[in-house]
Structures are given as C-alpha cells and as structure tokens.
C-alpha cells in the first residue's frame, strides 16, 4: 500500500541554508529517503515542501501549472498527437501565464472573469482583437482542465460555470459556395489534376481536409462507387502523421456520384505507378489552402477556407431536401450537430407545422358542418 509522504524542514547548520527531509513511497512502490538542500530561506524551503506534497497527493492544492502536468499525464495518451499539440499551445499561451502560480482550489469566478476580460482586451500579432469564437475555444480548454479536477481530484465545483462564458459558441458567419461558384472555381484548377480531383472530393463528398489527404488507392472502390474514411492526415514537426479520424462517427463509407467515381478512376489510371497504400494526394493542407485562394481570385468568386467546402456540401444537401439524419451520416457527425449548426439553412418547419394544424382543424370543422 502506498504511504503518504513525511517531510520536515530544518536549518542546514553546516551550509547555513535550509533543507527539506523526505520519506515516502513513490509511484512504483519503492521507499524513498531523500534530502532537498540549498534553500536560502525557510520560506523557500516551506514553499517547495508545499508544492512537493501537493504533487504527491495529486490534489487541487497544487498550482495550476503543476496540475496541468497531472492533466497531461491523464489525458494525453487518449488523444491524437495533433489534438494534444493544439490543446498544449492554448494552455501554454493563454492559461498558464494567468493562472500558473494560483492553486487550483483558489481559482474563483472572480479570477475567471478577470482572465476573460484580459482576453477581450488582447490583440493578435496583427493588432486585431481575438475573435469571440477563439475565446470560446480557449474557455472550453480551461473548463476541460477544471472539470477534470472536479471529476477526479476533488475540486468542489468548476468556477467557470459560475463566471459564465463570454465567447461565441460558433462563428457568426458561415461561408460556403453555391454549385455555380464551385464550378467556376474548379475550371481554374482543371489543369492541375491532383488538385482538381482533391477539390472534387471535398465539394461533392464533404470530407475533412485530413480525411482527404489520408486517402489511399485502396480506400476508393470504383466498382461499388464508395470512399472508405478510416484515417486522417496531419503534419507535425516536419513529419507526415497518419492517425485515426476525428471521432468514431467519422469512420464511414461514403457513396460517390457516378461522375465522380469515373473521374477518380481516370485519376488513378493517370497515376500508373501509385501503390495500394500510397496517399492519393501527397501534399499538405497549406498547398490545398494556397491553391484555393489563388484560384478563387482568378474565378472571381468569394474567398472561403478549404473547410468551408465541407459547409458547402452540407448546404447543397439541405437544398436538395435531405434530412439532418441522412446528412449527418454522410458527414460523420451526430444529427443534432447538423440540426443546430445549420438550422438557418433548413426550410421553416414551424410554418409547415402551423399549416398542417390549420388543415387538421379545417377538416374537423367541415365534418361537423355536414
């Protein structure tokens, strides 16, 4: 059984400094006797002792920065490397500078509001205010850490819930292309087959960028006209990384329209030396984005992001009359996400409901009149 640590702070008579004597059982079950020396003052020794005890106890008496280390140990093995890097960047840039020295248990809603106000005043490297959508993303990260402390380390409550949110949950504007705009754009990349076919898949199938760039020849079934989404591509520290898709729901088989299946067959026949496990589109997200920006200008259509081609596909399916459930299945989302995120694009169901109720009552009135 692992015993709690015993410590004592005393003066080192020989050196004239302060020391901390340690006796504890470590995480491997080994008994450790150790001495930490060299503190100039008793206060420094006591502060180190407090931090050590908090870390050993894995309690919310730890500083926020120390607890982030515990959070990383618990959570990082469960996440994709790129997902963790994104979280780590926000933690290091936006959370630790403000909360780092505070004990987790001492963070109150007032500290949270002060931090939120500092974000609202902050500007990016271009001198622009941080977007409310980005602030909401950073708030979500802080909330994830505090909720972890609540669930697993005895923090009574998440103070962010009391403070409330200041960021927007979703961006105010969703940009997408109509089919006419997309076709005008695609004419400007038709002389670059690898880019043309990549955009064709993005617009007509709604794949995420990472899903597209991870596709291999064996993921395309020309005979059955399907694409199998089983992985995702990212680039990290100069390395190409193929990992699992974003969520379990993201693993899916997408039906191809006949014309696109024929186009992809042509593309794979052009790339005659491509092997079954080779990436069909061996370039980066940056190349996709840069080409889209250039070709959009040439085509005279509004500039959108590569990810907005996914929004464009959803918009197209909604206009064609497909349900949120059917669209969610194709996109690798939950239907509630499609309903909420794209609610403004669906026809006004409330008016339809009212009309049906009117018809019901009119039918009853006519029956009674007879």
Say if 172 falls within a structural domain. no
pLDDT in tens, 313-334: 999 998 888 888 899 999 998 7
201 has a pLDDT exceeding 70 = yes
pLDDT in tens, 2-43: 444 566 888 888 888 998 887 766 545 567 777 888 999 998
Number of domains comprising the chain:
3
Residues 113 and 200 in one domain: no
Determine what percent of the chain is predicted with pLDDT higher than 90. 51
Residues 262 and 154 in one domain: no
Q: Is 89 within 8 Å of 137 (Cβ atoms)?
A: no
pLDDT in tens, 236-248: 888 888 988 888 8
Residues 99 and 231 in one domain: no
Say if 353 falls within a structural domain. no
Residues 233 and 341 in one domain: yes
Cα 105–Cα 85–Cα 238 angle in degrees, nearest 5: 160
Rounded to the nearest integer, the mean pLDDT of the chain is: 86
Say if 255 falls within a structural domain. yes
- The predicted pLDDT at position 57 comes to 56
Say if 86 falls within a structural domain. yes
Say if 369 falls within a structural domain. no
Say if 175 falls within a structural domain. no
Please tell me what DSSP assigns to residue 345: G
Say if 192 falls within a structural domain. yes
Please tell me what DSSP assigns to residue 7: E
Residues 45 and 97 in one domain: no
Q: What is the extent of the structural domain holding 324? A: 183-345
pLDDT in tens, 183-200: 999 999 999 999 999 999
Residues 224 and 339 in one domain: yes
Among 22, 24, 62, 20, CA closest to 39: 20
Say if 362 falls within a structural domain. no
Q: Does the pTM of the predicted model rise above 0.85?
A: no
- The predicted pLDDT at position 347 comes to 62
88 has a pLDDT exceeding 90 = yes
Among 229, 232, 257, CA closest to 329: 229
295 has a pLDDT exceeding 70 = yes
Q: Give 255 or 167, the one with higher predicted confidence.
A: 255
Residues 304 and 194 in one domain: yes
Residues 134 and 14 in one domain: no
Query: 126: pLDDT confidence band, cut at 50, 70 and 90?
Result: confident
pLDDT in tens, 61-82: 789 998 999 899 999 988 878 7
Determine what percent of the chain is predicted with pLDDT higher than 70. 87
pLDDT in tens, 44-64: 988 887 777 666 656 777 899
Burial of 336 (0-12, 13-18, 19+ CB in 10 A): exposed
The CATH number of whichever domain residue 317 belongs to comes to 1.10.443.10
Please tell me what DSSP assigns to residue 20: E
Residues 203 and 341 in one domain: yes
- The predicted pLDDT at position 296 comes to 97
Among residues 114, 131, 163, the one where a domain terminates is 163
Q: How many CB atoms lie within 10 A of CB 72?
A: 16
Query: 368: pLDDT confidence band, cut at 50, 70 and 90?
Result: low
Query: 353: pLDDT confidence band, cut at 50, 70 and 90?
Result: low
Residues 203 and 327 in one domain: yes
The CATH number of whichever domain residue 71 belongs to comes to 1.10.150.130
Residues 272 and 134 in one domain: no
Query: 1: pLDDT confidence band, cut at 50, 70 and 90?
Result: very low
Residues 333 and 232 in one domain: yes
pLDDT in tens, 134-183: 899 999 999 999 999 998 888 889 999 999 888 666 555 678 999 999 99
Q: Give 24 or 306, the one with higher predicted confidence.
A: 306
Long-range contacts of 58-62 (CB under 8 A, 24+ apart): 58/153, 59/105, 59/153, 59/154, 60/103, 60/104, 60/105, 60/149, 60/153, 60/154, 60/155, 61/103, 61/104, 61/105, 62/103, 62/104
């Amino acid at each position: 059984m692992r015993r709690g640590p015993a410590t004592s702070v005393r003066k080192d008579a020989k050196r004239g400094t302060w020391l901390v004597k340690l006796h504890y059982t470590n995480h491997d079950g080994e008994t450790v006797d150790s001495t930490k020396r060299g503190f100039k003052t008793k206060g420094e020794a006591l502060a180190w002792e407090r931090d050590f005890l908090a870390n050993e106890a894995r309690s919310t008496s730890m500083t926020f920065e120390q607890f982030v280390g515990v959070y990383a140990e618990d959570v990082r093995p469960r996440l994709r490397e790129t997902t963790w890097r994104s979280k780590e960047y926000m933690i290091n840039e936006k959370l630790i500078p403000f909360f780092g020295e505070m004990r987790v248990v001492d963070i109150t809603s007032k500290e949270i509001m002060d931090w939120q106000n500092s974000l609202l005043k902050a500007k990016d490297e271009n001198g622009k205010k941080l977007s409310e959508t980005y602030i909401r993303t950073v708030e979500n990260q802080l909330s994830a850490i505090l909720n972890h402390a609540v669930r697993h380390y005895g923090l009574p409550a998440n103070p962010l819930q009391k403070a409330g949110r200041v960021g927007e949950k979703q961006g105010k504007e969703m940009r997408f292309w109509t089919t006419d705009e997309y076709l005008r754009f695609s004419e400007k990349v038709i002389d670059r087959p690898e880019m043309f076919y990549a955009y064709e898949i993005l617009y007509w199938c709604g794949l995420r960028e990472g899903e597209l760039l991870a596709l291999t020849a064996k993921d395309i079934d020309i005979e059955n006209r399907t694409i199998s989404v089983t992985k995702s591509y990212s680039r990290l520290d100069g390395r190409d990384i193929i990992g699992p898709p974003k969520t379990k729901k993201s693993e899916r088989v997408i039906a191809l329209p006949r014309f696109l299946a024929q186009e992809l067959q042509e593309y794979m026949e052009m790339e005659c030396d491509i092997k079954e496990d080779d990436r069909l589109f061996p370039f980066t997200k940056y190349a996709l984005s840069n080409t889209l920006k250039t070709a959009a200008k040439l085509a005279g259509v509004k500039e959108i992001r590569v990810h907005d081609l996914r929004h464009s596909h959803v918009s197209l399916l909604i206009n064609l009359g497909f349900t949120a459930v059917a669209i969610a299945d194709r996109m690798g989302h939950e239907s509630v996400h499609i309903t909420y995120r794209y609610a403004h694009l669906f026809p006004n169901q409330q008016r339809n409901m009212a009309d049906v109720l009117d018809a019901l009552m009119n039918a009853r009135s006519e029956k009674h009149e007879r």
